[in-house]
A and B are shown apart, each in its own frame.
Chain A
Amino acid sequence: MTPLARFLNRSCVRHAAIISLMLACAPQSRAEVAYVSNEKDNTLSVIDIDTLEVIKTIEVGLRPRGITFNRDRTVLYICASDSDAVQIMDVAKQRIVADLPSGEDPEQFALHPDDRRLYISNEDDAVVTVVDTQTRKVIAQVDVGVEPEGMAVSPDGKWAVNTSETTNMLHWIDTQTNKLVDNTLVGQRPRHVEFARDGSVLWASSEIGGTVAIVSVPDRQIKHTINFKIPGVHRDRVQPVGIKLSRDGRHAFVALGPANHVAVVDAKTFEVLDYLLVGRRVWHLEFASDEALLLTTNGVSGDVTVIDTKKLKPIKTIKVGRYPWGLAVAP
């Protein structure tokens, strides 16, 4: 093949690839992106999932932590903790359009499946605030334990569960009445809760206890406790925080904080299968690319690690802002 022919051939292949890519993307307005909240920079980093590069940085309120989309992903809610507000970002315009009343120091939240009620942890106030995102009004405030942190709503919308870090409990809020109806005592400093997709169990991480509790939802009792042991890492440094469960029900991924690893857990047997080395002080996790990738926020190293979930291998590190905290992905 002549050099020219080779060039044409290659460029054709490339063009064909680009055209097919454009076709594939045509119905959508943009490619898949991940938003990362940078707690100490007051910004969001926007990562292009195809190229795995930061394509944009958006200024938001003070100390952004938890972030989550509405159902059709037209709006991103942002806990701007030190602005004492939950901000609403218009995803198309890529800017903040309104603030929701949120109570003091909102840290994490969960959106009810009705796409309307937002359950917000107010860390400094020992309350959970329930906000109607349409009327932008506070519907209820529920007293919980000291330093409310993790927040999750069950897939059937019946339960909102909050963790309180110093009280060491899971607080079960009935979403019909927005009243606290039960508490489950767990290990020291519970940080994050995640419901299984069928709603039968709740996974709860205890940062200082170093464990993850599997809580049966019908009776709200702990049915199993997962311990972690990484060779060469002292157990005191194993501090579970973020949890993600794969849709196929096979794997759970648990971020282990200053142990700088993500644990891969068999979601059926609760056996720890592997530990994947990521950046420093890994906190939260989110799937991308139809769960082919898992992204982690690494607070101390200020980056995001990308894990290939089939090979269970970290494949790339992406530098973001200072103290990346939360993650949200829009396909």
Chain B
Amino acid sequence: MDPEYPCTISPACAGIFFGLALLMVAAATRADVDLSVLYLKEDIARPPVLSNLSPPAADSGLAGAILGISDSNTTGRFLKQRYALDTHVDASPEALIRVAREHVDKGNGVIVADLSKATLLRLLQTPELMGKTIVINSGAPDDELRRTECTSGLLHTLPSRAMLSDALAQFLIARRWKKWLLVHGDRPADLAWVSAIQRSEKRYGGRIVATKQWTFDTDLRRTAQQEMPLFTQGRDYDVTLIADDIGDVGEYVPYNTWLPRPVAGTQGLTPTGWHPVVEQWGAQQLQNRFTESAGRGMDDRDYAAWLAIRAVAEAVTRSNSSDARTLYTYMLSDAFEVAAFKGRSLTFRRWNGQLRQPIPLVQPRALVSQSPQPGFLHPRTELDTLGYDAPESTCEFKDAL
């Protein structure tokens, strides 16, 4: 017997059972479903940056997972489906993997992973987890995870860098800003951005007229007006693109370029999975719920974690199961779709587990546009103009665990 109903045989109990039985018939003989989700967040040390105005929130991602569980429980209570969240935040990859193993040992099969690429790959290669759990990546934008190193069982709700870069490039081409000055830092993530932008350049017919890596060690807060015009001097360009993943130097580029040109990339006009300025298609309701629950605006990691849980819960609702294999197969099937305040239903790519999604292009206080831009066509769905398409992926990805 379900421990929640610790009654022995009595008239009252019989009444409850009769009532329950009626309800179950009404709900097309649905059984109770309990699903426990583990959210893992790697506490990654961030180097100091010049601008200290808006560091990422300490609970970035975690707050989205909490809201995702709350939203799913509101839905689940009508279907006798209950969701629980375990969370673990740690700087140590070993500790994170240990917690994941404990979670799976207890018979659970869903993990939302807000981890670095390296830790995520280690987690996926842990023998005790393989084939037993769905891992939804809500923290690593790395393209390799979608193109060469993808693993069956691994899904992504965070957009890849290639998707973000393509989303920006489509907008630039639509505006006919075809000549790009690319400036970047020397960190691995900066260089990953450079690769993504170079790929988008080829894909959409932009032209990088010059690529410059900065080596500033002066305090740009005081010297940007002297340094930046000289640094951005050169051949004519329509727009300056910045690849500065942690936001150290990039904040000081806008308005200080040699030519009076807009700035885009990791700063300026920014492609992102989510931002507090998104309000269309009912998004304001999600923003309001999030602000009430977390006390701040919702960022792209929050959204990816929220969406990971909503996607799983949608699969639970429709399949009436909490079994990882059933859910995974359902999520990659044609029947699956999830509404997520982006104006259309979202689905997973069957060749790499990436969730297709429109990408907002934002400036800090307003939405500028949303890609895919009109006119960029694709035989399957326009959303597949963003990021790596099936023929570009060399993954041996399977839609069964």
A residues in contact (CB < 8 Å) with B:
123-124, 126, 145-147, 164-169, 171, 180, 182-183, 185, 188-189, 207-210, 234, 236-237, 239, 258
Interface residues in B360-387 by Cβ distance below 8 A to A read 381-382
Which chain A residues lie closer than 8 Å to B318 at the CB level?
A: 185
The 8 closest A-B pairs by CB, nearest first: A236-B344, A167-B75, A208-B339, A188-B339, A183-B78, A189-B339, A146-B74, A208-B345
Taking a contact as CB atoms under 8 Å apart, the answer to whether A188 and B338 are in contact is yes
- Across-interface contacts of B26 in A (CB, < 8 A): 182
How far is it, in angstroms, between the C-alpha of A182 and the C-alpha of B74 when the chains are bound?
15
Question: Quick check: is B317 within 8 A (CB to CB) of the other chain?
Answer: yes
- Size category of the B interface is 20 to 34
Please indicate which of the listed interface residues B79, B285, B381 has the most CB atoms of chain A within 10 Å of its own CB.
Answer: B285
Q: How far in angstroms is the closest Cβ of chain A from B378?
A: 10
**In the bound complex, CA of A124 to CA of B318 (Å):** 25
B344 / chain A contacts, CB cutoff of 8 Å: 208, 236-237
Cβ of A236 and Cβ of B345 under 8 Å apart? yes
Shortest distance between the CB of A108 and any CB in chain B (Å): 13
A145 and B78: CB pair below 8 A? yes
- For B282, give the chain A residue with the smallest CB separation: A165
Q: Assess whether B288 is interfacial by the CB under 8 Å rule.
A: yes
What residues of chain B lie closer than 8 Å to A237, measured between beta carbons? 344
List chain A residues, Cβ under 8 A from B288: 124
From B282, B285, B339, give the contact of A168 (CB < 8 A).
B339
Question: Contact partner of A167 among B78, B285, B289, CB < 8 A?
Answer: B78
Asked whether A124 lies within 8 Å of B343 as measured between CB atoms, the reply is no
B43 in contact (CB, < 8 A): no
B251 CB within 8 Å of chain A:
no
A126 touches B381 (CB 8 A): no
CB of B74 within 8 A of CB of A126, answer yes
Contacts of A209 in B (CB 8 A): 337, 339, 345
For A169, list chain B residues within 8 Å (CB). Answer: 75, 78
Q: Is B238 close to A, CB under 8 A?
A: no
Q: Provide the residues of chain B in CB contact with A208, threshold 8 Å.
A: 337, 339, 343-345
Q: Closest CB-CB distance, A28 to chain B, in whole Å?
A: 39
CB distance from B321 to the nearest CB of A (A): 15
B285 in complex: contacting residue of A147, A171, A182, CB < 8 Å:
A147
Minimal Cβ-Cβ distance residue in A for B77:
A143
Residues of B near any A CB (own CB < 8 A): 26-27, 71, 74-75, 78-79, 282, 285, 288-289, 310, 314, 317-318, 337-339, 343-345, 381-382
Closest to A191 in B: B282
Instruction: State whether A183 touches B339 (Cβ < 8 A).
Output: no
Q: Give Cα A146–Cα B71 distance, bound, in whole angstroms.
A: 6
Bound-complex Cα distance A146 to B345 (A): 17
Q: How far is the CB of B320 from chain A (nearest CB, A)?
A: 10
> Distance (Å) between the CB of B259 and the closest chain A CB?
35
Chain B contacts of A146 at CB under 8 A? 71, 74-75, 289
Contacts of A126 in B (CB 8 A): 74
Complex contact B282–A171 (CB within 8 A): no
Residues of A close to B285: CB separation below 8 A: 123-124, 147, 165-166
18 sample A-B contacts, Cβ–Cβ < 8 Å, listed by A number: A126-B74, A145-B74, A145-B75, A146-B289, A147-B282, A166-B71, A166-B75, A166-B285, A166-B310, A168-B317, A169-B78, A183-B27, A183-B78, A185-B317, A189-B339, A210-B345, A236-B345, A258-B343
Q: Closest residue to A237 on the B side, CB-wise?
A: B344
A234→B382 contact, CB < 8 A: yes
Distance A133 CA – B67 CA, assembled complex (angstroms):
35
What B residues does A182 contact at CB under 8 A?
A: 26
Q: How far is the CB of B12 from chain A (nearest CB, A)?
A: 20
Tell me, rounded to whole Å, the shortest Cβ–Cβ distance linking A222 to chain B: 11
Residues of B with C-beta under 8 A to A185 = 79, 317-318
A167–B318 Cα distance when bound, in Å, is 12
Q: Nearest A residue to B383 by beta-carbon distance?
A: A236
Interchain CB contact under 8 A, A236 and B74:
no
Complex CA–CA separation, A147 to B382 (angstroms): 28
CB-defined contacts of A180 to chain B, threshold 8 Å:
78
Kindly state the separation between the CA atoms of A164 and B78 in the bound complex, as whole angstroms.
12
Q: Could you say which of A145, A165, A188 contacts B345, with CB atoms under 8 Å apart?
A: A188
Nearest Cβ in chain A — how far from B128, in angstroms?
A: 35
Name which residue of chain A comes closest to B345, CB basis.
A208
Q: How far is the CB of A142 from chain B (nearest CB, A)?
A: 12
Residues of A within 8 A of B78 (CB): 145, 167, 169, 171, 180, 183
Q: Which residues of A contact B317 (CB under 8 A)?
A: 168, 185
Specify which chain B residues have a CB less than 8 angstroms from the CB of A236 in the assembled complex: 343-345, 381-382
Question: Which chain A residues border B382 with CB–CB below 8 Å?
Answer: 234, 236
Interchain CA distance A137-B271 in the complex, whole Å: 48
Nearest A residue to B344, CB-CB: A236
Q: How far is the CA of A245 from the CA of B314 in the complex (A)?
A: 31
Question: Chain A's nearest CB lies how many Å from the CB of B9?
Answer: 27
Which chain B residues lie closer than 8 Å to A167 at the CB level? Answer: 74-75, 78
Q: Give complex CA distance A147, B284 in Å.
A: 11
| Closest B residue by C-beta to A234 | B382
- Using A124-B285, A166-B310 as known contacts, list a sample of 4 further A-B pairs with CB atoms less than 8 Å apart, ordered by residue number in A: A183-B79, A188-B338, A210-B345, A236-B382
| Bound CA span A168–B78, Å | 11
- Closest Cβ of chain A to B41, distance in Å, is 24
Distance A182 CA – B28 CA, assembled complex (angstroms) = 11
B337 contact set on A, CB distance < 8 A? 188, 208-209
Rounded to whole angstroms, the CA-CA distance of A124 and B74 in the bound complex is 13
Bound CA–CA A208/B283 (angstroms): 13
CB distance from B88 to the nearest CB of A (A): 26
Distance between Cα atoms of A171 and B314 in the complex (Å): 17
- CB neighbours (8 Å) of B310 from chain A are 166
A107 to chain B, nearest CB (A): 9
Please measure, in the bound complex, the distance between the C-alpha atom of A207 and the C-alpha atom of B282, giving whole angstroms.
Answer: 11
Q: Which residues does chain A contribute within 8 Å of B79, judged by CB atoms?
A: 183, 185
Name, among B74, B289, B317, B318, the residue most crowded by chain A CB atoms within 10 Å (CB to CB). B74
Residues of A within 8 A of B339 (CB): 165-166, 168, 188-189, 207-209
Q: Which of A164, A183, A188, A208 has the most CB of B within 10 A?
A: A208
Which partner residue on chain A sits nearest B381 by CB separation?
Answer: A236
CA distance A188 to B311 in the complex (A): 12
| Contact status A168-B75, CB under 8 Å | yes
What separation, in Å, do the CA atoms of A145 and B70 have in the docked complex? 11
> Smallest distance from the beta carbon of A223 to chain B beta carbons, Å?
14
Whole-angstrom distance between the alpha carbons of A236 and B340 in the complex? 13
